[in-house]
Amino acid sequence: MERLLDPRAQEQAVARVHGRGARRVRAGHPWVFRPDLLEAAAAPGGAVVRVVDETGNPLGRAFQAAGSRIALRMLTRKDEPCDEAFFQGRLERSLAFRRTLWPDADAGRLVHGESDGLPGLFVDRYGDALSLQTTSEGADVLTPLFVRLLVEALAPRVIVAKNDTSARDFEGLQRGQGLLHGGPEATTTYHEGPNRFALDLLADLKTGAFLDQRENHVHAAGYMPEGGTGLDTFSYHGGFALSLATRASSVIAVEADEQAAARIGVNARANGRPVEAICGNSFDVLRQFEREGRRFDVVVIDPPAFTKRKGDVQAAERAYKELNLRGLKLVKQGGVLISCSCSGKMTPARFGAILDAAIADAKRPVQQIERRGAARDHPVLVGVPETEYLKCWVYRVL
């Protein structure tokens, strides 16, 4: 690792980029795709290298990948050394922004990859624990450095590597998870608004929870009338459900994973919320409730990413349409549908067209109230559509 941070080694490792790739970098995009790489640097995968254009003009410094389709992930557009002080500064800047957003919060995303100038590094805080995920060779190699800097800055009780994501496959990185600091227990608690959630960072999905929806969870309560009823599909640990239940008389939370469904019940009881957890397939439950003529004041459709590759888009469109059509039929007159998609391949335009089609088939007059995205600690990098993935749209049925 020391050699990767050595300014002299970086100066000698030069990657040359085709004109098209150079224009993308100068326009602010942090990725150079392999077809735009004229010459790789004489350095291993994960190394920090100088990047120049066809004529040798500097473009900045980047993580170089050995075999990924993304050959270079830009760290800076300045021709400056990316040493330990550089990475410490980037990390401190990212942490300072989160402290500004929520000085007293005990949960949130602390580092959001390319959007925070740390390509492939994602760090989430849950109470006194941190969850760290790397999706680039460079961030993966520098994990010991990031762990040390995070311990110095935040003094967490435990840091867990949550490297079981499919995104690592594209970089040729092995999947896995384990303790990086502290332990041996990786259980913790955190808050979303007034609700307290428990989780186990080594046992639960994603980085532990879906923090990109944290602000949307809390915000959703504002659409629930006092004493109303709610339905939260694909509920996971009950983020939307428990928030709705701060005002509702009853909320049903549907989750297919047995462990996650059990966790909903634990969280609901701990917070004293009227939430019934059903372990089942959300598609099946929506069909059943439609047959039974059930109606709710607020219905939430928040499925996993049905499409991660272009070839999956048509099947995903059918799934999104069915879910939202059935969801609309379960909303009371004057009630609200909250519809989400966390797939980057499902663009806002495509998602909107699907919802328009579902609304037309439902044959009910509908208002669009809001278009929300990921929480503010998951910033979108301007000019990089890949960093804008979460859609959380609110509709009112007249």
Report d(CA 380, CA 112) in Å as an integer: 9
* 356-373 core/surface letters (b: 16 or more CB in 10 A; e: else): eebbeebeeebeeeeebb
Q: Where does the pLDDT of residue 311 fall: very low under 50, low under 70, confident under 90, or very high at 90 and above? A: low
DSSP letter, residue 309: S
Q: Tell me: pLDDT of 309 over 80.
A: no
Q: Tell me: pLDDT of 310 over 60.
A: no
pLDDT tens sequence across 360-382: 999 999 999 999 999 999 999 99
- Phi and psi angles of residue 342, each rounded to the nearest 5 degrees, phi first: -105, 15
Q: Which position has the higher pLDDT, 389 or 4?
A: 389
Q: Has 279 been annotated as catalytic? A: no
What superfamily in CATH does domain 84-189 come from? RNA methyltransferase domain (HRMD) like (3.30.750.80)
Tokens 């980047």, located at residue: 62
User: What is the fold of 210-397?
Assistant: Rossmann fold (3.40.50)
Q: Tell me: pLDDT of 315 over 60.
A: yes
Domain with CATH 3.40.50.150 in the chain: 210-397
E strand or H helix at 180: strand 176-182
Report d(CA 288, CA 285) in Å as an integer: 5
Q: Where does the pLDDT of residue 305 fall: very low under 50, low under 70, confident under 90, or very high at 90 and above? A: confident
Encoded tokens for 124:
């989430």
Domain with CATH 3.30.750.80 in the chain: 84-189
Q: Which of 82, 340, 342, 392 is catalytic?
A: 342
What value does the mean pLDDT take over residues 268-289? 98
| Count of C-beta atoms within a 10 Å radius of residue 16 | 19
pLDDT for the residue 384? 86
pLDDT for the residue 319? 93
What superfamily in CATH does domain 7-76 come from? PUA domain (2.30.130.10)
Domain with CATH 2.30.130.10 in the chain: 7-76
Amino acid letter, 16: R
Q: Where does the pLDDT of residue 346 fall: very low under 50, low under 70, confident under 90, or very high at 90 and above? A: confident
pLDDT for the residue 6? 81
E strand or H helix at 356: helix 348-362
What residues contact 105, with CB distance under 8 A and at least 6 apart? 98, 191
Q: Tell me: pLDDT of 104 over 70.
A: yes
pLDDT tens sequence across 23-71: 999 999 999 999 999 999 999 999 999 999 999 999 999 999 998 999 9
pLDDT tens sequence across 234-276: 999 999 999 999 999 999 999 999 999 999 999 999 999 999 9
pLDDT for the residue 251? 98
pLDDT for the residue 8? 84
Q: Tell me: pLDDT of 299 over 70.
A: yes
Report d(CA 50, CA 81) in Å as an integer: 9
Report d(CA 32, CA 388) in Å as an integer: 19
Mean pLDDT over each residue of the chain, to the nearest integer:
94
Encoded tokens for 346:
């499902």
pLDDT for the residue 343? 87
What residues contact 297, with CB distance under 8 A and at least 6 apart? 223, 224, 225, 228, 229, 230, 248, 331, 332, 335, 336
DSSP letter, residue 164: -
pLDDT tens sequence across 126-173: 999 999 999 999 999 999 999 999 999 999 999 999 999 888 998 899
pLDDT for the residue 308? 62
Q: Between β-strands 275-279 and 296-301, what pairing exists: parallel, antiparallel or unpaired?
A: unpaired
| Count of C-beta atoms within a 10 Å radius of residue 159 | 23
Q: Which among 150, 46, 177 has a CA at the least distance from the CA of 90?
A: 150
Q: How many residues does the chain have?
A: 398
